[in-house]
Amino acid sequence: MSWGILLLNHNVEPSGLDRITVVTTASRIRLGLSELVNGASPRLGELRQAHVEVLAGLTGDALPPVLVCRHSLRVIDGHHRVAAALRRGDAEIDAEFFDGSPEEAFVHAVRANVRHGLPLSKEERELAVDRIIGSHPYFSDRAIAGIVGVSAKTVAAQRKRMSSGDAQPLVRVGRDGRSRPVGPAAGRLRAAEIIGGAPRTPLREVAVRAGISVATAHDVRKRLLEGADPVPDGTRLAGPRRGSRSFGRRGTGNAHKPEKVDRLAAMSALRNDPSLRLSEKGRGLLRWLEVQAMALDGREAVAAAVPAHCAEVVVDLVREQAHVLIRFADALQRKHAIGD
């Protein structure tokens, strides 16, 4: 069967975070009620029977289709509609399939309930904010506020309470789907990377690219020249400290031992980046990186399978591939003016 694409916002062009999750469907389909599984809902407690009775009195065409996870057949949005169909004695219900992770499904369930369902209670909204902050920490306060139907100040307060000193992302995705630095620390660190990679970059350009003022860009350059941290004490929000670095000469990726990278966390962040997920080239990059990660994870089994008489040739090939990857990393570093 050929499946088309139906975006979350059915009647308007998608924008920003509305494009992050898509629903694939061949218009409406009919599913047996006995096949459906009760999925997680942003609501607390039992279904509201009065609302079920109202829906049961409507014809099937008057209700939008329920949203169901394709693989598990768990109901994501439409629990009251399912209960109403059962109350009427129906055997089937109109449905659309959802493709995505459980975390993405919850985000959509909250958004759907806020837009066209019964209003969520204050407690339910607070719990939804907590859960989305936990699963999507890179979503901005305004983005989460728009999903849940609360103020950005409420989200910021809950995020602060939940963080308790834990490191937070230096960049967040806004309602328009664009990534932006969080606070002055992130902007200063980005400016330090730009200056470190290209010392002659005009301060005005540094300021625009880093999202900071020209005066702040000047202060970052001054601190780097003095061998100081580009972020003043008390300003840094998260992330490793970027110590002093002479940016008169560019370093190379193999000139020092690279810091250990949390590959699982890094890949998770990349998979959740809209600019990668929503483009064919971006998805190709993710697939390529996943192949490299799989090769690293299985290196012990591969090493055990190398016959002794082939070991020298395999070692040469692996070393050459490693050098190619290092040169590739160096080229990316130079292209994007990333500091060492």
| Cα Rg of the chain (Å, integer) | 25
**46-55, 208-217, 248-257, 308-317 — which one is most confidently predicted on average?**
46-55
Q: What is the mean pLDDT of residues 153-176?
A: 76
Please check whether residue 187 is in contact with residue 232, taking contact to mean a CB–CB distance below 8 angstroms.
no
pLDDT of residue 237 exceeding 50, the answer is no
The model's pLDDT over 86-102, given as tens digits with 9 standing for 90+, comes to 998 889 898 988 888 88
Cα–Cα dist 38/75, whole Å: 6
Element (H, E) at 130: helix 122-135
Q: pLDDT band at 339, cuts 50/70/90?
A: low
**Cβ neighbours, 10 Å, residue 275:** 13
pLDDT of residue 274: 61
Average pLDDT value over all residues in the chain = 75
Q: pLDDT band at 128, cuts 50/70/90?
A: very high
Q: Determine the distance from the C-alpha atom of residue 316 to the mean position of all C-alpha atoms in its chain, rounded to a whole number.
A: 38
* Residue entry with tokens 């890949």: 267
Residue 41 burial (C-beta neighbours within 10 Å; 0-12, 13-18, 19+): buried
Q: pTM to 2 decimals?
A: 0.49
Residue of 126 and 254 predicted with greater confidence: 126
Residue 250 burial (C-beta neighbours within 10 Å; 0-12, 13-18, 19+): middle
Whether domain 4-116 has CATH 3.40.50.2000 = no
Residue of 30 and 323 predicted with greater confidence: 30
Q: What is the mean pLDDT of residues 222-228?
A: 83
pLDDT of residue 126: 92
pLDDT of residue 6: 28
